[in-house]
Amino acid sequence: SQQGEEDPQALSIQEGENATMNCSYKTSINNLQWYRQNSGRGLVHLILIRSNEREKHSGRLRVTLDTSKKSSSLLITASRAADTASYFCATDASNSGYALNFGKGTSLLVTP
Amino acid sequence: DAGVIQSPRHEVTEMGQEVTLRCKPISGHDYLFWYRQTMMRGLELLIYFNNNVPIDDSGMPEDRFSAKMPNASFSTLKIQPSEPRDSAVYFCASSTMASGGGETQYFGPGTRLLVL
């Protein structure tokens, strides 16, 4: 099964800075989702963007989707220490029913 | 709603023993997913159910793994016999179908399995 791949694998920034994570995938999709995972916890859904959308906002999160390049980006503005977590993109391949394929994630560290 | 509930949260067992992981999905959700997460392989989909019926089990590593969903509120993932390479965090997630497909999945806290 195809997976999204996040870039970078790890990112370290200071509070107040913006964090940008990228995701690339291989086949056509219905939508793309971003999830967050705090250490030792389950994944939490952040935002979903459909294949016919180019940009979506939710609070301090901004997601873009470029289906021609098969890529997405997640921007967290004005980061906080509480944003420290791993971030995963997940693709819903158009012929896979409702299963999701997750990338290996970007580990974000926000220092005070 | 309490969210997706998994038990046990931690399991330590010896190689060769049977391990049973349990999941209670969110009430009303008609999709249930089992994932395994390791550092090396990331998050892998093992199997998923729709309305209690297994839809895709192609991610189940081998015959030692089996999953059941006897009713809408309970699922089990069983490993028999267990091996050290099965050590991982196992997540259960549930979702509900909506137009457009691939809707949000809600994850449980996971079961951290260590096979010695």
Give chain A positions within 8 Å (CB) of B59.
1
Name the pLDDT band for A2 (thresholds 50, 70, 90).
Answer: very low
Most confident of A3-17, A87-101, B65-79: B65-79
How high is the pLDDT of residue A4?
A: 73
The pLDDT of A43-66, averaged and rounded, is 96
Residue B97 forms contact with A (CB below 8 Å): yes
Question: A112 at the B interface (CB within 8 A)?
Answer: no
3-class DSSP assignment, residue B86: helix
Q: Give the residue on A whose Cα is nearest the Cα of B4.
A: A42
Mutation for A interface: B105, B107, B111, B112, most A CBs within 10 A: B105
Does pLDDT of A1 surpass 60?
Answer: no
Q: Check if the beta carbon of residue A67 is closer than 8 Å to that of residue A54.
A: no
Per-residue confidence (pLDDT) for residue A21, from 0 to 100: 96
Residue A36 backbone phi and psi in degrees, to 5: -120, 145
Q: Hey, are the CB atoms on B100 and A100 less than 8 Å from each other?
A: no
DSSP class per residue in B64-84: TEEEEEEETTEEEEEESS--G
The answer to whether A98 contacts chain B (CB < 8 Å) is yes
Residue A97 has its nearest CB partner, among B55, B59, B105, at B55
In chain B, what are the helix, strand and coil shares in percent, each to the nearest 5? 5, 55, 45
| Range ranked top by mean pLDDT from A22-26, A88-92, B45-49, B112-116 | B112-116
Q: Would you give per-residue pLDDT tens digits along chain B (116 residues)?
A: 689 999 999 999 999 999 999 999 999 888 999 999 998 889 999 999 999 999 989 899 889 999 999 999 999 999 999 999 999 999 999 998 754 445 789 999 999 999 99
Q: Is B107 close to A31, i.e. CB distance below 8 A?
A: no
B109/chain A closest Cα distance in angstroms: 4
User: Of A13-17, A93-97, A108-112, B104-108, which range is least confident?
Assistant: A93-97
